[in-house]
């Protein structure tokens, strides 16, 4: 018997995020009775984690096919996606069948987009295996791949049929990757739920470990923040933009680093940068900026980046998804838990804020 908790993401296509230990048995119910064939798209380096998923699905009577993809961001490209389309055709995946994505955020992004684009949309269930994927990538219906010009520039809004967060898989995540996932969790604390920050501040070492006393609560709270936001605004027409707090600089760092830089590490730096922008624009005070640095640093996340990288970063920012026409837009805080927008900041302001995070 699982100890699952459920968080519902509302909207036109509501679905549940199931969180707990021993919850894989709930997977067939999410896949549904109509499916006969289930294609399991999974990170190639996760044989021990994908095996129980395959066993549960086969035990439920589905014709199950494992489709390994490269690990990490290497999976999120056109060639890998086209390979999956060919696999779906070979396996005879129909509109009544299902795709299950197992792995980190890159694998779930890819699986979601493959499902959204195959036959104009087939049922998709996501089984995130990293903290980053559980609290961010797998929840919200954003799917996509990368191209040479930028990250996630090609994609679709396609809510999954369900998300299954088996907390037991977190023990297999390398420490640096787990800590990277904490960045999105902490971000959720700054934009919406300050209790997350308090839990991290009370026990930073516990927060940095999947065996910590508050792991489940941190996951649940971060997922609830995302569920509340995307349930009200699936397609990022307004409110959902707040989830991009820190991401304008973060995505630029990832691009400059050729996606070899951990997403969460980039987000931590990006959030500090956004806080500095907010301070310099008169939106928040220095104490709240300092809290950004302290909370991220307390769990081992970076808060600064190379001083000489600014010209390259600034160029990449022009392709940011929040840009409207020629106007660069940033999500900033107006106070703890309350977000606003900063549109068209001056070049002087942008550079001054970067000098605060440069090393």
Residues noted as catalytic: 120, 142, 184, 226, 236, 240, 244, 247, 251, 263
- Those residues with Cβ within 8 angstroms of residue 189's Cβ, 6 or more apart along the chain or in another chain: 195, 196, 197, 200, 221, 295
DSSP β-ladder status, 329-335 and 338-343 = antiparallel
d(CA 117, CA 157): 11
- Select from 57, 26, 281, 68 the least CA-distant residue to 164: 26
**Annotated binding site, which residues?**
71-76, 105-109, 129-130, 142, 151, 169-172, 184, 247, 263
- CB-CB contact of 193 with 221 (8 Å): yes
Binding-site residues for Zn(2+) sit at 184, 247, 263
Sequence length of the chain is 359
Question: In whole angstroms, what is the distance from residue 300 CA to residue 205 CA?
Answer: 9
Alpha-carbon Rg for the chain in angstroms? 20
307 by Cβ neighbours in 10 Å (0-12 / 13-18 / 19+) ranks as exposed
Give the Cα separation of 145 and 151 in Å (integer).
Answer: 7
- Lookup: tokens for 345: 């900041």
Q: From the CB of residue 60, how many other CB atoms can be counted at a distance below 10 Å?
A: 16
Following DSSP, what letter does each residue of 109-159 receive, concatenated? HHHHHHHHHGGG--EEEEEE-SHHIIIIITSSSEEEEEETTEEEEEEEE--
In the annotated binding site for NAD(+), the residues are 71-76, 105-109, 129-130, 142, 151, 169-172
């Amino acid at each position: 018997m699982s100890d699952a908790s459920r968080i519902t993401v509302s909207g036109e296509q509501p679905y549940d995020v199931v969180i707990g230990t021993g919850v894989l048995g709930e997977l067939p119910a999410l896949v549904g009775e109509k499916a006969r064939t289930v294609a399991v798209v999974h990170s190639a380096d996760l044989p021990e984690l994908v095996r129980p998923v395959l066993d549960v699905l086969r035990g439920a009577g589905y014709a199950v096919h494992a489709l390994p993809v490269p690990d990490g961001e290497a999976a999120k490209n056109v060639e890998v996606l086209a390979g999956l389309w060919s696999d779906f055709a070979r396996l005879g995946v129909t509109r009544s069948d299902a795709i299950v994505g197992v792995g980190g955020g890159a694998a779930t992004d890819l699986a979601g987009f493959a499902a959204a684009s195959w036959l104009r949309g087939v049922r998709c269930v996501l089984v995130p295996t990293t903290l980053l994927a559980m609290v961010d990538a797998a929840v919200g219906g954003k799917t996509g791949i990368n191209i040479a010009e930028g990250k996630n520039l090609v994609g679709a809004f396609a809510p999954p049929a369900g998300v299954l967060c088996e907390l037991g898989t977190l023990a297999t995540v390398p420490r640096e990757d787990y800590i990277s996932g904490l960045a999105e969790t902490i971000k959720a604390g700054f934009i919406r739920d300050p209790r997350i920050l308090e839990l991290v501040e009370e026990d930073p070492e516990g927060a940095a470990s999947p065996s910590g006393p508050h792991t489940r609560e941190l996951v649940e709270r971060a997922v609830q923040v995302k569920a509340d936001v995307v349930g009200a605004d699936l397609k990022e027409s307004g409110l959902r933009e707040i989830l991009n707090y820190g991401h304008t600089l973060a995505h630029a760092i990832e691009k400059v680093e050729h996606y070899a830089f951990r997403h969460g590490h980039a987000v931590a730096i990006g959030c500090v940068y956004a806080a500095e922008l907010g301070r310099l624009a008169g939106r928040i005070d220095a104490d709240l900026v300092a809290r950004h640095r302290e909370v991220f640093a307390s769990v081992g996340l970076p808060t600064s980046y190379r001083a000489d990288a600014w010209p390259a970063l600034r160029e990449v920012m022009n392709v940011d998804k929040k840009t409207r026409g020629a106007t660069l837009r940033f999500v900033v805080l107006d106070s703890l838990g309350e977000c606003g927008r900063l549109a068209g900041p001056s070049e002087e302001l942008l550079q001054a804020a970067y000098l605060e995070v440069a090393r």
